[in-house]
């Protein structure tokens, strides 16, 4: 199976084994264990500590080499635009960078913040690691907010941060691709707005604005989530969605003019790309089933996916019971997202692509993040109700991760810096 673009002839692999860079591994061991100890009281510290240990020697290599392949068209281009200061002109639709990548440059501002203490490539390394940590932590917070007890939320949220798809994006693509956390933050804010009202209502709007500015794909996915929330949510939820629409409107109004310029390839080129980056549950040209050219059984966390399926099957068996309805509604949303993720293979996608500006949506596979995020919500209570102890489930999950993710060919190595 071809996982990504062919290596650039200028790419230089950087040695990262324990005997090659013992100091980098030592930094990860010491910092990771220290954070795990602090994590007895603070979940974020525990998530950061475990992530640093699992991804070693990534933390220690931040200033030494590029995490992932370098140069690639996407990563070299993103770094080039950052060094040119494209993010300072994000709202200038006449700027070349804005015409090519749109106004959603929030990720470059995160790079700029980290660049205050690091080199530009080191800032992107740190941001990639931060994406993993925040992806897991916020998904665990969402699981807690939707009824997952205790540390079972950490098990449920694991795949949103440490899924194989995240590391594939770190390996080859621009930094915002691995940063799913702004989308999760918006969903979490919507849930809290529904439950508590108050300041969570404007917070949800601001979270959506940030998600749109960070990555325009999250703006589209967030709009789909907001539309569903308008139908099934409470009054507070609807107010939060209205706030989100107001917050996202400036980015939408600027994004559409940025799409009408000679810098972009023809719409047919985007359609061709959209046919490649998809969910292919029955295999795509060659077996096996895959998500964006990653084997589906490696790209999905088997523990969380299995628990989510158990929850859906149980709800289907008791479909008349009122307590089953939220699960069945969520399952229907997952099915819709999965169909959209299949791209041009379905009539649904062709209708979607006719909407204004969405002909440029070149990665249908992005919709599958909604399936994973929904699995996080469904899996937690299902796992907690089971008879298997928490630590046993955690060990199984980590063991499968080491085998299917850390041991996978797309898991990022390190590349020597080419100035």
Q: For 169-198, what is each residue's pLDDT tens digit?
A: 999 999 999 999 999 999 999 999 999 999
Task: Give pLDDT, residue 386.
Answer: 85
Q: Is the Cα dihedral 118, 122, 126, 128 positive or negative? A: positive
Between 4 and 299, the more confident residue is 299
Between 251 and 334, the more confident residue is 334
E strand or H helix that includes residue 141: helix 120-145
Lowest mean pLDDT among 219-228, 378-387, 410-419: 410-419
Alpha helices, DSSP H, located in 264-403? 267-274, 296-299, 302-317, 325-341, 347-352, 368-385, 390-401
Task: Give pLDDT, residue 286.
Answer: 63
Local confidence band at 268 (pLDDT 50, 70, 90 cut-offs)? low
Enumerate helices (H) and strands (E) in the chain, giving the number of each: 20, 4
Q: For 125-168, what is each residue's pLDDT tens digit?
A: 999 999 999 999 999 999 999 999 999 999 999 999 999 999 99
**Average pLDDT, stretch 211-232?**
93
Lowest mean pLDDT among 11-15, 82-86, 283-287, 327-331: 283-287
Supply the mean pLDDT for the chain. Answer: 91
Between 372 and 265, the more confident residue is 372
**Average pLDDT, stretch 324-353?**
90
Q: Is the Cα dihedral 295, 12, 53, 119 positive or negative? A: negative
CA distances from 254 to 103, 158, 222, 229, 332 (A): 7, 35, 17, 25, 33
Bridge partners, residue 284, by sequence: 286
Count CA atoms closer than 13 A to 391's CA, side-chain side: 0
Q: 235 burial class (0-12, 13-18, 19+ CB within 10 angstroms)?
A: exposed
- What is the rounded CA–CA span in Å between residue 245 and residue 5? 37
**Average pLDDT, stretch 45-67?**
97
* Alpha carbon of residue 59 to chain centroid: 20
What is the torsion angle, in degrees rounded to the nearest 10, for the CA atoms of residue 266, residue 272, residue 278 and residue 284? 180
Task: Give pLDDT, residue 269.
Answer: 66
Task: Give pLDDT, residue 369.
Answer: 97
Residue 320 has pLDDT above 70, yes or no: yes
Residue 24 has pLDDT above 70, yes or no: yes
Closest CA to 214 of 116, 109, 128, 136: 109
Between 101 and 196, the more confident residue is 196
* Alpha carbon of residue 322 to chain centroid: 32
Cβ(159)–Cβ(301) under 8 Å? yes
Q: How many CB atoms lie within 10 A of CB 120?
A: 15
Residue 275 has pLDDT above 60, yes or no: yes
Record the tokens describing residue 180, joined without a space.
């799913």
Cβ(359)–Cβ(267) under 8 Å? yes
Residue 276 has pLDDT above 90, yes or no: no
Record the tokens describing residue 100, joined without a space.
């090519």
pTM score of the predicted model:
0.94
- What is the rounded CA–CA span in Å between residue 313 and residue 319? 10
Residue 418 has pLDDT above 60, yes or no: no
Most confident of 26-30, 148-152, 288-292, 355-359: 26-30
Task: Give pLDDT, residue 43.
Answer: 94
- Give every CB contact of residue 103 below 8 A, 6+ residues apart in sequence: 90, 91, 93, 213, 216, 251, 254, 255, 258
User: Domain residues of the chain, as ranges?
Assistant: 180-258
């Amino acid at each position: 199976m071809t996982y990504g673009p062919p290596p650039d002839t200028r790419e230089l692999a950087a040695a990262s084994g324990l005997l090659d860079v013992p100091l980098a591994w030592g930094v990860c061991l010491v910092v990771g264990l220290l954070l795990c100890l602090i994590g007895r009281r603070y979940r974020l510290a525990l998530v950061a500590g475990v992530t640093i240990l699992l991804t070693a020697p990534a933390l220690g290599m931040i200033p030494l080499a590029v995490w992932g392949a370098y140069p690639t068209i996407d990563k070299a281009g993103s770094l080039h635009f950052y060094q040119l200061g494209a993010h300072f002109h994000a709202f200038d639709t006449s700027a070349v960078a804005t015409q090519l990548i749109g106004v959603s440059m929030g990720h470059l501002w995160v790079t700029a913040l980290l660049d205050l203490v690091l080199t530009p490539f080191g800032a992107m390394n740190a941001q990639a690691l931060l994406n993993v940590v925040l992806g897991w932590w916020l998904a665990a917070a969402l699981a807690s907010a939707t009824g997952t007890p205790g540390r079972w939320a950490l098990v449920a949220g694991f795949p949103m941060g440490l899924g194989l798809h995240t590391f594939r994006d770190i390996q080859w693509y621009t930094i915002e691709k691995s940063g799913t956390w702004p989308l999760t933050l918006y969903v979490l804010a919507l849930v809290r707005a529904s439950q508590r009202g108050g300041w969570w209502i404007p917070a949800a709007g601001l979270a959506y604005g940030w998600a749109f500015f960070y990555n325009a794909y999250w703006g589209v996915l967030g709009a789909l989530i907001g539309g569903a929330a308008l139908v099934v949510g409470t009054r507070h939820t609807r107010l939060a969605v209205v706030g989100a629409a107001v917050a996202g409107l400036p980015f939408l109004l600027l994004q559409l003019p940025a799409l009408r310029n000679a810098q972009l390839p023809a719409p047919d080129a985007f359609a061709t790309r959209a046919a490649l980056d998809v969910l292919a549950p029955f295999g795509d040209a060659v077996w096996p089933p895959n998500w964006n050219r990653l084997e589906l059984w490696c790209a999905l966390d088997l523990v969380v996916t299995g628990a989510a399926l158990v929850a859906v099957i149980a709800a289907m068996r008791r479909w008349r019971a009122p307590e089953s309805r939220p699960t069945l509604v969520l399952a229907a949303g997952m099915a819709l997202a999965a169909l959209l993720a299949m791209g041009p293979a379905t009539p649904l996608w062709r209708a979607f692509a006719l909407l204004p500006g969405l002909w440029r949506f070149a990665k249908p596979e992005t919709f599958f993040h909604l399936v994973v995020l929904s699995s996080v919500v469904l899996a937690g209570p299902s796992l907690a109700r089971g008879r298997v102890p928490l630590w046993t489930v955690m060990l199984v999950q980590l063991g499968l991760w080491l085998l299917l993710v850390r041991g996978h060919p797309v898991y990022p190595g390190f590349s020597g810096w080419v100035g």
